A and B are shown apart, each in its own frame.
Chain A
Amino acid sequence: MAVAAVTPRVRTIVICDDVSASPTENGVFDLTGVRQHIFAESFPCRVALSLFMLLSSARKGDYTGRVVIVNERNERMIRYVKFAADFDRDNQLSPFYLEIDNCVFPEAGAYDFEVYFSARDGEALKGEHPFAVLSHEE
């Protein structure tokens, strides 16, 4: 079976400042500072971001996920992190909140957050999210 078919599916990607579980409703989450861009005072710009992802998997198991932040101008990776995604049972939706400290954006421009999952046979790109870094000088 193809790698893409046996790895978790990325249903939602949201870049934000903070994520918390709702104190009043079970399974509801509060996302603070949802953003598609950031204004930088100077470069390199160092920020901490949170990545909220809703993942689903038809099969239970432990999977290794990877997030790569890519500068679209030169296709260079500026950050590469990995995380563990555990599914206790089959057909599970799993909300994740990944803290990425020290994201260093070297210049203003377009960036891409890419999410990969690996299986025995290799890796598959399962989700992408664009992100813009804007300069106050522009």
Chain B
Amino acid sequence: MSRKTFVPWTIAPLQRVKAETVTDPEEIAAMERLRKRLKRKGKGRKTNSGRNGAKSPAGTSAKRRK
């Protein structure tokens, strides 16, 4: 079994950042589109059947005996 190499993390000092409000309508519209796209993807993942929205490859699903 391969061992993970330990990489030490360095910790930067606390940074105080002033938030810059986005007012550009194009940027706002782009973010709205991104959120909608991610939401659609998320819906695909969560289904009542427990499947992740992807079809199972042919021949892998169990068939009912007649």
Contacts and interface: CB of A to CB of B under 8 A. Distances in A.
A93 B12 CA distance: 6
Given A80-B21, A80-B28, A80-B31, A91 B15 contact: no
Interface stretch (A33-41, A96-104, A129-137): A96-104
A125 interface: yes
B17 A91 contact: no
B22 interface: yes
Contacts of B11: 27, 92-95
Contact of A99 (B13, B17, B28, B35): B17
- How many of chain B's residues touch chain A, expressed as a range? 20 to 34
A19 B14 contact: yes
Please classify the interface of chain B as helix (H, G, I), strand (E, B), loop, or mixed, using the class held by over half of its residues.
Answer: mixed
Please classify the interface of chain A as helix (H, G, I), strand (E, B), loop, or mixed, using the class held by over half of its residues.
Answer: strand
B17 A97 contact: yes
A56 interface: yes
A43 interface: no
Interface string A66-88: 11101000010101111111111
Interface of B: 7-22, 27-28, 31-32, 34-35, 38-39
18 contacts: A21-B14, A68-B31, A77-B31, A80-B22, A81-B19, A81-B20, A83-B18, A84-B17, A86-B15, A91-B9, A92-B9, A93-B11, A95-B11, A95-B12, A97-B16, A98-B19, A100-B19, A123-B34
